[in-house]
Chains A and B, each alone.
Chain A
Amino acid sequence: MKMAVCLKQVPARDAVLRLNSDSTWVREDDVSFEINEPDIYALEEALRLKEKQGGEVVVCTLGPERAAQALKEALAKGADRAMHLHDPAFQNLDAYATARALAAAIRQAAPDLVLTGLQADDDGFAQTGVILAEMLSWDHSTIIMEIQAQERALKVKRELEGGWFQWIEIPLPAVLTIQSGINKPRYATLKGILAAKTKPLQRLGWKELGLDEESLKPHQKITKVFTPPKSGKVEWLEGTPREVAQRLADKLKNEARVI
């Protein structure tokens, strides 16, 4: 099976984030970047499918120069080749335009299956994967926790709310958005890192992808990014210890959403 994995390079989880001067994004000069966590799981799942039944894994990202690092890491982990969508015209794309550019690249790679993380750790839109599927006119399924390959179809397990799961069958070609925790991602080995040097890393601009400026026009725009204001709200819970504990647990779970 030929697979493509779409991944995004995002600020590292332990990065100290500061806002840029016009408060529309973080100051990228200060932070180190890494592969978006759910995308790492998507890559791992593709590599496992390949190991089980053969095929090819193409990794694909849209981003500036630095994003090539993410592709090299994916190649080091075992992907066969990489496509880097890199063009001055690709700055500040929204999910729609990103998906449009990715769709053009995916058509060139012509895989049977596209895997991507269910959302990005930085903007958390969870849009790119599903819009990509629509643009390709392929079936898609989201928040995938298990994949079983069958003849020209897949059986996949979706995560629903409240601890529920759902098994569905999906024909190929398809796009799946992968949930973190579906597998245990591998570490890049030194052998893999050194082998990655000779793997193809293709760089594609909007012209090579057959895109026009119109198709990259954003449909949405970030107007302001801010840190949540700290508030000093205090609430006294009264009652027996059991009642207080129950209400506290309820508040932490459903209001504060921290447990």
Chain B
Amino acid sequence: MTILPLTTLTDEERLFQAAAREFAEKEIRPHVSAMDRDGIFRRDLIAKFFEQGFMGIEIPEAYGGSGGSFFMAITAVEEFSRVDASAGVVIDVQNTLVANALLRWGNEVQKRAFLPRLARDTVGAYALSEAGSGSDAFALQTQSREDGNDYVLNGRKLWITNAQEAGLFIIFATIDRSLGYKGITAFLVDRATPGFTVGKKEDKLGIRASSTCELILDGCRVPRDNILGEIGKGYKVAIETLNEGRIGIAAQMTGLATGALEQALRYAKERKQFGEPIAEFQAIQFQLARLATDVEAARLMTYNAARLKDAGKPFLKEAAMAKYFCSQVAERVASECVEVFGGYGFTKDYPAEKYLRDAKIGKIYEGTSFMQLQTIAKFLLGSS
């Protein structure tokens, strides 16, 4: 068996990475600043994501998708996030959470009904968090009551990524709070369902273009056929999907850090002080060298976790480590990128400060850094 370096790409992966990079540079880059300022993700851009197949990377061709690998999804998230972390999370949630959950847990009827839509024109969202349940996800309060052939959902979901644009939602609710996590059930809910409303959109520090909204479920009637997985097994759907999602966030943070580092490198070569470019000073050189090393390590961890997942090997610990580490790297690189830019970096006229604002979410969503450490520690101590 030939062991290849971790960063070796197949011809297909290399072509896809190049296409994703070119697309991000030409189609996303011109809109990044305005979308961040306005807190709106352009619909025409999302339409292009669909057109180019970025919204159904892993969905098999039989269901209208591209038939790619998890690694390819990760590559696209990384390349998009290098230009805009908001664009990165739009395709990340679609691919690594929503399509992924349907592929893993959907029955054939559900796959035929929903996967072609996700590949063609429907943005998906994943609704687990509530005002009172973040890290303690299974303390969720949203209820689902059986009523004939339907379930009636009541409650509120909070901080739901992509909700503003989404047409399909995976909503986690409990059939009986007294059952604890064993009551949790996942439902596929169409946006047009009566009793379902997308509520207030958050005004955020970072990834401002990506929408984050409240969902209001008020007598929202969902047919029994739309239960994803089994009744009372929603916790498994949630946990296992998020395990893979973490690699997606690691890729988003790696891409962001790469983008920030590139900006810092370019500026360090342009900016002159004391009669020469600041890149000529050893202090700046060492700073950049440290950051580049961090980015390299982040990429290796992300790729390894993604390769493990594609190989069907255990990857939970590596995924948690990658997300934990890459979100730290992103924040550090983005923060020092601001410093390389100096006073200019502190203003919105330069790209540095946006990377820093965008990086902050990496330690928070899809499992906080503490939750990642808890997962890692369980593996170390064998107490899972």
| A interface residues, Cβ below 8 angstroms from B | 69, 72-73, 76, 187-191, 193-194, 196-197
Check A193–B67 contact: CB distance below 8 A.
no
13 contacts between A and B (CB under 8 A): A73-B18, A188-B18, A188-B19, A189-B19, A189-B53, A189-B66, A190-B19, A190-B54, A191-B67, A193-B12, A194-B66, A194-B68, A196-B12
Check A191–B11 contact: CB distance below 8 A.
no
Q: Tell me if B72 counts as interface (CB < 8 A to partner A).
A: yes
CA distance A217 to B74 in the complex (A): 48
Check A191–B61 contact: CB distance below 8 A.
yes
| B interface residues, Cβ below 8 angstroms from A | 11-12, 14-16, 18-19, 22-23, 52-54, 57, 61, 66-68, 72
Complex interface: chain B residues within 8 A of A194 (CB): 12, 66-68
Check A193–B61 contact: CB distance below 8 A.
no
Q: Tally of A-B residue pairs with Cβ under 8 A? A: 44
Complex interface: chain B residues within 8 A of A73 (CB): 15, 18
Check B53–A191 contact: CB distance below 8 A.
yes
CA distance A194 to B11 in the complex (A): 10
CA distance A187 to B26 in the complex (A): 10
Give the Cβ gap from A51 to chain B, nearest Cβ, in Å.
15
Give the Cβ gap from A9 to chain B, nearest Cβ, in Å.
13
Q: Label chain B's interface by main secondary structure.
A: helix
CA distance A72 to B18 in the complex (A): 12
Could you list 9 further interchain pairs (A-B, Cβ under 8 angstroms) beyond the known A73-B15, A188-B16, A193-B19?
Answer: A187-B22, A188-B19, A189-B66, A190-B66, A190-B68, A193-B12, A194-B12, A194-B66, A194-B68
Closest to B23 in A: A187
Complex interface: chain B residues within 8 A of A188 (CB): 15-16, 18-19
Complex interface: chain B residues within 8 A of A69 (CB): 11, 14
Complex interface: chain A residues within 8 A of B67 (CB): 190-191, 194
Contact partner of A190 (CB less than 8 A), chosen from B14, B22, B53, is B53
CA distance A165 to B32 in the complex (A): 37
CA distance A201 to B354 in the complex (A): 45
Give the Cβ gap from B75 to chain A, nearest Cβ, in Å.
10
Check B15–A193 contact: CB distance below 8 A.
yes
Complex interface: chain B residues within 8 A of A191 (CB): 53, 61, 66-67
CA distance A69 to B16 in the complex (A): 12
Check B12–A197 contact: CB distance below 8 A.
yes
CA distance A191 to B66 in the complex (A): 5
CA distance A191 to B16 in the complex (A): 10
Check A76–B22 contact: CB distance below 8 A.
no
CA distance A69 to B23 in the complex (A): 19
Complex interface: chain A residues within 8 A of B57 (CB): 190
Complex interface: chain B residues within 8 A of A187 (CB): 19, 22-23, 52
Complex interface: chain B residues within 8 A of A190 (CB): 16, 19, 53-54, 57, 66-68, 72
Complex interface: chain B residues within 8 A of A76 (CB): 15, 19
CA distance A196 to B67 in the complex (A): 13
Closest to B13 in A: A193
Closest to B68 in A: A190
CA distance A193 to B72 in the complex (A): 12
CA distance A70 to B9 in the complex (A): 16
CA distance A165 to B289 in the complex (A): 52
Closest to A190 in B: B66
Complex interface: chain B residues within 8 A of A196 (CB): 12, 15
CA distance A187 to B19 in the complex (A): 6
Complex interface: chain A residues within 8 A of B15 (CB): 72-73, 76, 188, 193, 196
CA distance A188 to B22 in the complex (A): 10
CA distance A72 to B66 in the complex (A): 17
Closest to B54 in A: A190
Complex interface: chain B residues within 8 A of A72 (CB): 11, 15
Complex interface: chain B residues within 8 A of A189 (CB): 19, 52-53, 66
Give the Cβ gap from B149 to chain A, nearest Cβ, in Å.
38
Closest to B73 in A: A190
CA distance A187 to B12 in the complex (A): 14
CA distance A158 to B66 in the complex (A): 39
